[in-house]
Amino acid sequence: MAKTFRVGMIGYRFMGKAHSNAWRQAPHFFPLKAGVELHTICGRDAAGVEAARASLGWRHASTDWRAVVNSPDIDLVDINTPNDSHAEIAIAAARAGKHVLCEKPLALNVAQCQAMLDAVKKAKVVHMVCHNYRRIPAMAQARKMIDEGAIGQIYHYYVRYAQDWIVDPNFPLVWRLQKGVSGSGSHGDINAHIIDLGRYLVGEFKEVCGLMHTFIKERPLMDQSGKGDGLGARRGKKMGRVTVDDASMFIGRFANGALANLEATRFALGRKNHIEIEINGSKGSLHFDFEDMNRLKFFDNSQAGDRQGFRDILVTQPGGVHPYFGQWWPPGHIIGYEHTFVHTVADFVNACVKGKAVQPTFEDGLRNQRVLEAAEESAKKRQWVKV
């Protein structure tokens, strides 16, 4: 293993923790074609990023992302910042000749996504969007079964992504609730994931009809002490306007004729990170529940009538039987959320060695953004919109 990729990661909070764990673990479990060095972690708060460096296993800490992406000591750039800075950082990294892994959604709008795609293509660097749910073994297994024709012609793609973390009207106005920073609310945050899964499993979207709603119009501004962020944010006394959606849903049609029904909400009490997917076809159906992520349910209509019904596929068989699982544990020893990032990093590193594209690429990020914007336009105009 002659090559070692030195990683520069921009951002260090929720996704920074998930990605740091993946960079640490991937070389220990997957046959990577190159070494990995957690070289520099970067964030705006010097004390915060130094604490992250010490706890997450990075060699260096920085508060200057430009210095990181332009450093000759960095080979790969991993972007985990709020959405409004994705484009600027990714374009600069590409121009500096770095391979780029970027959190979703790729950017704030289609124009930024296109500029990012143009930059990585011009630089001829490997580029990937971190839609980690593609690398849940059950989702990769579902794709395999669909490609093999197990459920026949697809008729329906139904999915609900539900959370409840902002139901409290006193929860503060964090960056995810500000359109200028996030681009949209539940739509770009979690609908983006299930749009990407729809494209991965079923095909390209053709047209959509959307509805978006904001339940809480004003919230307390964040405590200016700077302590707390995300779920741990603290509220101050002043109020500010929420400029994104709390819930988003749309129906649609894929280019292959399948129908789509997607819902994303952060106002579903009792649902913490609930993703439920059902795909119906001419020969059978697939059902997945993220809260039971090692299981895929399969209805096979070719079975005799007296033994039909959804059956469980426990997606934990190693030896190449189920995707990714051969690198983990004996059959039945389940894996979790964090492993999806390890799978992502492993595939990304090996693609960088080969200089080959690895899905989902920035092209996928652009196509996802086109669906997001079409649904938002539809909600505003109250009419169908072509993607």
DSSP secondary structure letters along 352-387: HHHT---SS-HHHHHHHHHHHHHHHHHHHHTS-EE-
Whether 192 and 233 map to the same domain: the answer is yes
Whether 209 and 119 map to the same domain: the answer is no
To which residue do tokens 């349910």 refer?
Answer: 297
User: How far is Cα 289 from Cα 37, in angstroms, rounded to an integer?
Assistant: 35
- For residue 351, being part of any structural domain is answered with no
Instruction: Kindly report which listed range (159-168, 231-240, 306-315) carries the lowest average pLDDT score.
Output: 231-240
The parent domain of residue 55 ranges over: 4-133
In this prediction, residue 338 has a pLDDT band, given cuts at 50, 70 and 90, of: very high
In this prediction, residue 237 has a pLDDT band, given cuts at 50, 70 and 90, of: confident
Whether 221 and 203 map to the same domain: the answer is yes
b vs e for 17-28, b when ≥16 Cβ sit within 10 Å of the residue's Cβ?
A: bbbbbbbbbbbe
Give how many domains the chain has, as a whole number. Answer: 2
The predicted-structure confidence for 61-101, as pLDDT tens digits, reads as follows 999 999 999 999 999 999 999 999 999 999 999 999 999 99
- For residue 103, being part of any structural domain is answered with yes
pLDDT at 231: 57
Tokens of 48: 């915060």
The predicted-structure confidence for 280-316, as pLDDT tens digits, reads as follows 999 999 999 999 999 999 999 999 999 999 999 999 9
pLDDT at 370: 98
CA neighbours closer than 13 Å in the CB half-sphere of residue 352: 28
User: How far is Cα 320 from Cα 140, in angstroms, rounded to an integer?
Assistant: 12
Report phi then psi at 277, rounded to 5.
Answer: -125, 135
pLDDT at 232: 60
Which of residues 133, 165, 190 is at a domain's end? 133
Higher pLDDT, residue 1 or 3: 3
Whether 103 and 173 map to the same domain: the answer is no
- For residue 265, being part of any structural domain is answered with yes
Portion of the chain with pLDDT greater than 90, in percent:
95
User: How far is Cα 126 from Cα 320, in angstroms, rounded to an integer?
Assistant: 26
Which of residues 133, 154, 186 is at a domain's end? 133
- For residue 353, being part of any structural domain is answered with no
User: How far is Cα 106 from Cα 112, in angstroms, rounded to an integer?
Assistant: 8
* Mean pLDDT value across the chain: 96
Which of residues 133, 159, 181 is at a domain's end? 133
Whether 59 and 145 map to the same domain: the answer is no
| Contact between residue 138 and residue 288 where contact means Cβ atoms under 8 Å apart | yes
The predicted-structure confidence for 9-37, as pLDDT tens digits, reads as follows 999 999 999 999 999 999 999 999 999 99
User: How far is Cα 268 from Cα 274, in angstroms, rounded to an integer?
Assistant: 9
